[in-house]
Amino acid sequence: MERFGSVSFGPVLLVCLMSGASALLHTANLHSQCKSCDPHPADCRSYQCISNCSVSKVCPNPQDVCAAVWWRQAGVVTVETRCHNPTQPLRGVMLEDYSSSDCVLTIRHASGHNLRLCACTGRDCNERMLLNKPSEDLELVIMTASENKPFRLPQLCKFCDFESTECNATGVCESSCNITSICEDPEEVCVSAWRRSEGKALIETVCHNPALKFRGQYLTDYNNTRCEMKKVKGMEDFYICSCNAEECNDRLIFTGEADRVSLSAERKNLLTLLLLVLVPLLIAAVLLVSLFYFVCVCRQQKCKVPATKGMDSETCAIIMSDDNRSDSSSANANSLNHNTELLPVQLDAVVGKGRFAEVFRAKLKQASESPQTVAVKIFPYDEYASWKTEWEIFSDAELQHENVLQFITAEDRKTARQYWLITAYHERGNLQEFLSQHVIGWDELCQLGRSLARGVAHLHSDRTPCGRAKVAIVHRDLKSANVLVKSDLTCCLCDFGLSLRLDSSTSPEELANSGQVGTARYMAPEVLESRMDLENIESFKQADVYSMALVLWEIMSRCSATGDVREYEPPFGKLKEHPCVESMKDDVIRDRLRPEIPASWSNHMGVHLLSSTIEECWDHDPEARLTAQCVVERFGDISSAVIPPLSSDIKSTEDSGNDQK
């Protein structure tokens, strides 16, 4: 028993052990282990792709081999890995070559899809897929999904060989091929041919290497992105096109049509370009023209001096214009038009007396108009030079400004042996008279002071407020008696008998001889001393600014905003006195005196600030003085910064224009 047992049991055990081991071994050998991932982007380089699948699975069936499905969509290579029973079709395709350990992708046209499939035997052999290796000398390039290295993928082309078609080789035809193929060779391009054979039209769609002849022809247009059909020379009804873009051989553009298409595309492009360029240009031009127009209109309106009531060119004796100004510059009055009708002026009363002339209030009686009050400055024939100087100054049309006395005309009244200057009339009279009779408030101070500075700034400027060129003029006799007060309590400058035009027409001699003129009381120290730099036109302006500062002081001295207002007094002394140059020199140069700035002027911030401005204007050093334009700006800054207390406002309003009793 024991022997039987030992004899019979031993071999059975051995067989069992062996068969168990063999079964285990068999199972291990027969069940493949494969990469098994749903579609995901693959990493392709050169002519191989790595699936990037991290799942490795023992296949459920012993027959299963490893397989991969490869396709390209929108330039991305996608791979699906799986176990596959090779006795069954994969994506409708029976795989034959699966015994190799390499998974070599081959193109399959499965129900219109462009796929590459492969199958292999061996653990995870579908991890790496090989594309059909093209000949070694060709550049092997395809796109990697993971890196942006430039690889070239084989082209996707329509590939139906021959198909009958309705296309009659005109216009644009669709191939109606429903097979898109990945070309075998990355060098291959898409090609289409149209031919008519035995009355039947055929379209051929293929991949083709342009290095080789196609139907006996070398392809010339294979770098196109569109398939533009060209008639094959010497062949009836035979057209070929080639192109290098995905499925570009599906749409066949016949010659002529291609031209037309490209022509119309070009036209479209040109039109778009024109629209893009011309429309903004046109808009810009329209805007510019409108802007220009508005600026002009604005300028004209802004700069227009209101027409003198009742004046017209025919009734004016001598209308000041650029034309007759050149006449007037000649040395005597004979250059005037003596035939010109004189204005119907009736003199009323003397309103002022100057060095060389008297000023009358007068009535200008124009037909069909009610009489206009004007001022007539009458020069005796002996004072021709003064009349001429002032006329020349007035005759510059660019002098017109709201703060400069408005000029109407000049006349040679031969029978009376008089020269006339007819101007606007201002019933408030001159500033000296006005200040001696009125106390003013802060607002009036600002109005009178700023308008005075504006008038001087305009006179000195070589530009009109509208930007036109203008000759700079210096007044040289600025004083409160030569400033008129208009009805709106603004100032205008008058009496230009000593004025000088600072242009090339003024000779250096004239400048050199023009050393000491004006009224001693208002003369700047350098004028009193006759030490002006006569070659520098700025020095004339600086002397005017000094005089203007004294006038500003006069205005300030009558302002009630500081509390106490003294009697009107001209700068440096009593009204009736006429200090001579020598006594003024003692005060202004030797003693460096200036009109007093009372301590009470610091009670009002605005007056205090303006006092400092005035002091800067009467600086002994002409160069250190402010310009008239700067004073205008100071007035603007100070008047807008200073808001006087309500009570002071009311007081100043009440004060303004009140006769002093």
Active-site residue set: 477
What is the rounded distance in angstroms from the CA atom of residue 433 to the CA atom of residue 484? 9
- Reading the block at residue 263, the tokens are 């022509």
Q: How far is the CB of 427 from ligand ADE (least distance, A)?
A: 7
- Report which of 246, 247, 244, 238 is spatially closest to residue 217, judged by C-alpha positions: 238
Q: Which amino acid is at 560?
A: S
Nearer to ligand ADE, 241 or 483 (CB): 483
At its nearest, how many Å lie between ligand ADE and the CB of residue 425? 4
* In the complex, residue closest to ligand ADE by CB: 375
268 burial via Cβ count (<10 Å: 0-12, 13-18, 19+)? exposed
Q: Go through the chain and tell me how many residues it has.
A: 661
Q: Give residues with Cβ within 8 angstroms of 625, minimum separation 6.
A: 542, 545, 546, 549, 616, 617, 618, 619
Write down the least CB distance from residue 532 to ligand ADE, Å: 28
Of 482, 618, 635, residue with least CA distance to 549: 618
Q: Is 377 annotated as a binding residue?
A: yes
Residue carrying the six token digits 């030992």? 6
**Two tokens, residue 199:** 């009355």
Between CA 24 and CA 117 the distance in angstroms is 32
Please state the closest distance from residue 405 (CB atom) to ligand ADE, in A. Answer: 6
Of 479, 433, 509, 496, residue with least CA distance to 584: 479
Q: At its nearest, how many Å lie between ligand ADE and the CB of residue 359?
A: 4
- Beta-bridge mates of residue 359: 352, 377
Least distance CB 375 / ligand ADE (angstroms): 3
Q: Which helix (H) or strand (E) holds 518?
A: none
Q: Look at the alpha carbons of 326, 328, 329, 334 in this order and tell me if their dihedral is positive or negative.
A: positive
Strands (E), 74-137: 76-84, 103-104, 106-110, 113-120, 128-130
Q: For residue 345, give both structure tokens.
A: 């002026």
* Dihedral angle, C-alpha 332, 334, 336, 338, nearest 10 °: 150
Residue 43 has phi, psi (to 5 degrees) of -105, 105
Check if the beta carbon of residue 140 is closer than 8 Å to that of residue 49. Answer: no
Distances (CA, A) of 368 to 114, 374, 424, 609, 634: 102, 17, 20, 51, 46
Binding-site ranges for ligand ADE (CB under 6 A)? 351-352, 359, 375, 405, 423, 425-426, 429-430, 484, 494
352 or 622: CB nearest ligand ADE:
352
Question: What minimum distance in Å lies between the beta carbon of 353 and ligand ADE?
Answer: 9
Look at residues 544, 437, 553 and name the one whose alpha carbon lies nearest to residue 493: 544
CA distance 437 to 489: 14
Q: How far is the CB of 373 from ligand ADE (least distance, A)?
A: 9
The CA radius of gyration of the chain, in Å to the nearest whole number, is 54
Binding residues for ATP: 377
Binding residues: 377
